Amino acid sequence: MNSVMDDNRLLTLANGERIRLQKHCAMLFEVFDLQYASPATISRCGMVYVDPKNLGYEPYWQRWLTTRSRPQTEADALAKLYEKYVPLCVDMIIDGIVEGRIGQRLKGVIPLSNLNLVTQLTKMLDAVLGEEEQEDPQILECLFLQVRRTMLADC
């Protein structure tokens, strides 16, 4: 975006032309990628850009877990399974790290980020778990492992 709008509703274009917006006018900027945007552009858009590499996939998992309105026992069991399996699998798929040693990264048809993998995991868990309450931890672990195996097969 090569234009700037100040607080007086004055839009300055890249060629120096200035356009004053009327009070009844509003502008909406839909930005596809803020990776190369300046801080001024981001502040004008009223958002804060956080690089996905710095954010990680943990917040997405936490949000999914809290919005899944199920018994606390299921949420606790899913959280334990997540801690047990997901970080190790993501490290193996994305970075090729197995048991603390760096090896060959898995080659996939479509490049995936760690957030893509966790998103895929949650969508598949939603499909497998469905609406019924799953309170047996052993059955829950079996379903979790099946989904994890399917994810690894896709890579």
Query: Where do the structural domains in the chain lie, given as residue ranges?
Result: 1-49, 53-154
Task: Kindly tell me if the per-residue pLDDT of 37 is higher than 50.
Answer: yes
Tokens 């018994």 sit on residue? 71
Q: In this predicted structure, what is the pLDDT of residue 39?
A: 73
Q: In this predicted structure, what is the pLDDT of residue 83?
A: 93
Predicted structure pTM score: 0.62
Tokens 């009070």 sit on residue? 23
The pLDDT tens digits of the residues spanning 105-151 come to 777 788 888 888 899 999 999 888 877 767 778 888 888 888 877 76
- Give 48: exposed, middle or buried? Use CB within 10 Å, 0-12, 13-18, 19+: exposed
Beta-carbon count within 10 A of 82 CB: 20
Closest CA to 106 of 143, 52, 151: 151
pLDDT band at 82 (very low <50, low <70, confident <90, very high): very high
Q: In this predicted structure, what is the pLDDT of residue 1?
A: 46
Name the strand (E) or helix (H) holding 149.
helix 137-154
